Each structure stands twice: as C-alpha cells, then as structure tokens.
Copies of this chain bind each other. A is one copy, B any other.
Amino acid sequence: MPKYYGGIEAGGTKFVCAIGNDIGEILEETRFATTSPTETLEKVVVFFEQYLNEFPLESIGIASFGPVDLNPDSATYGYITKTPKPGWSDCDVAGVISRYFGIPIGFDTDVNGALLGEYRWGAAQRIENGIYLTIGTGIGGGAIVGGKLLHGLVHPEMGHMRLHRDIERDPFSGCCPFHEDCFEGLASGIAVRQRWEQKPEALSPDHPAWDLEADYITQALHILICVLSPQRIVLGGGIMNQSQLFPLVRHKVLDSLNGYVKHTAILNQIDTYIVSPGLGNRAGVLGAIALAIEAEKL
C-alpha cells in the first residue's frame, strides 16, 4: 500500500504545493503567488483537498520562509513570527493546516527543509553530519548533526556570521540592516547587486565580483568546517548558479584550512566535499515532503 505525503514550500514570493511519496516522486504539484495569508492558505487547502480520495495523506510538511517559531513548547509554535511581509506577522501557518486536515504536520525553515530533502534523496544521502547553505537574495544555512536537523535555542542563522572584510579591497560596507558586513551583508545577491550596481546575473563569469564572492564564501566554509566538522557541504541558491564559483571556492577552502583538518574527504576529495544540490529546482517542495515523512514518524 503506497503512502502519500503533502509538501508545502511556503516562500515569501510563491507557494509550491505537491503530493509525493517516500521515494521522492512528485505526483501532483501546483504553484501560486503568495498573497494574503487567508487567500494563500485557502489555495493550499483546496489543492490537497481535491486529491484526498486519490492520494490520502499521512502527513504534511511545511518548509517556510521566516522568521518562524520552531519551539514545540512555545504558544506560537508553527507561526511565522515578526516578518516585514505585509499581513504575515504572527500567522499560525502550521496550526491552520493542522486543524483543517487533522494529520501530523512537519514545520521547519525553508533551508532546513531543503537540507532534509538533499539528505533523503539528493546530494547529502548517507551523510550524518552535513551542511546546506543557500546563497541567493539572502543567505541561510541548515545542518544535519548525527542524522537529525540541528535546531537549538532558535534555529541556525548562518547568514549572520560576522566575517573579515578587507576595507581597501572591498569598501562596500555591507547591506545587512542588523550587522552591516556579516556573511549575508557581504555575499548575498542583494549585496552583490548593491556593490557592483548590476544584477548578479549580468556580471560576466570573469568579473572580479566572483573572486571576492568566493573569498567570502570560503571564510564562511572555513568557519563552518571548524565548528560543525561536516562530512559534506551543499551550496545552493541563485548565486551558486554561477558555476565558476565551485572550483574557486574549493581551491580557496583548501588554501584557507592550510592542511589543518587532516581528513581525506577534504584533502583529497574536495570535489565531492563541496557540492551543488542534487534536487535542483524541486529541492524546496521535496524538502517539504521530507519534513512530512519525518513528522509521520514522530
């Protein structure tokens, strides 16, 4: 008897809903613009409801834009909390879906969802300790530790690590409203566009923007390797569509670590240590389905 799971990729711009199974196949899918919470969640409900006879769901996973409350003991667990997105502050996304369908709900950040999808079906399979970084408009990161998503006090905010900026080389002071020149402030798509006054995708592959970008990504990876000791690092997001960044970053990470972390996975196999996602543009919604599968097991 096959099992079916619902996945909701809840993005600030668009929602993607899908029905999938436990081998990562997508059976039905829809996508629509994120408007008001009422209208958007109504569309989510209508989508799953029309298939309930054909595909009865075990559980639903929600991989959401943030900030979100992931503390199961909190009164606002499952909420999108304070967001600048109009209408969405204090929105009980998981609660609405849970009350309507009455089945287990998995709820996590979009990046944790994507990581879990990569862990189950993509580039981080059989990796008990891995990292997923999305470097796009913003920068987010998630970690698997001992085969489980890292949560902690809140959840990781890897985009907000402080990095070293050489002011002479990079006078751009950073775009993060909280920390100015943190990782996101220096290396996100917004930072690249503001620094070079061009859209990132308009910069040629040999533009100096990319060497600087690779340096910041390298600093972040050096730190993450020292803190989390991951077995693999997956780099996704729009900026990483600049595929020339991968060899640059791999080379610079080896230089930066300077032989200190003595493991063959880094010293001799850097090409399979720092990798691109395996699930491509289905990563978000497959991640949500992976969250549903985790929720069913609980």
A21 partner residues in chain B, CB cutoff 8 A = none
Docked complex Cα distance between A110 and B209 (Å):
42
Q: Number of A residues contacting the other chain (C-beta, 8 Å)?
A: 48
B150 and A229 form a contact (CB under 8 A): yes
Docked complex Cα distance between A178 and B259 (Å):
8
Q: Mark A244-264, 1 if CB is under 8 A from B, else 0.
A: 000000000000111111110
Docked complex Cα distance between A257 and B259 (Å):
32
A155's closest neighbor in chain B, by CB? B229
Please choose the segment from A22-30, A33-41, A157-165, A279-287 that sits at the chain B interface, where 4 or more of its residues have CB less than 8 A away.
A157-165
A259 partner residues in chain B, CB cutoff 8 A = 178
Docked complex Cα distance between A260 and B161 (Å):
11
The interface residues of chain A, by DSSP majority, are classed as loop
A160 partner residues in chain B, CB cutoff 8 A = 226, 260
B179 and A258 form a contact (CB under 8 A): yes
B161 and A164 form a contact (CB under 8 A): no
A103: Cβ under 8 A from any B Cβ:
no
Docked complex Cα distance between A230 and B152 (Å):
5
Docked complex Cα distance between A227 and B131 (Å):
10
Q: A152-B230, A158-B226, A164-B164 are in contact. List 13 more A-B contacts (CB 8 A).
A: A141-B227, A146-B146, A153-B230, A153-B261, A154-B229, A154-B263, A157-B261, A158-B227, A162-B163, A162-B222, A164-B165, A178-B257, A227-B228
Task: Give 8 CB contacts A-B under 8 Å.
Answer: A67-B262, A153-B231, A157-B229, A162-B164, A162-B222, A162-B256, A178-B258, A227-B227
Interface residues of A (CB under 8 A from B): 67, 81-82, 129, 141, 143, 145-146, 148, 150-165, 178-179, 219, 222-231, 256-263, 265-266
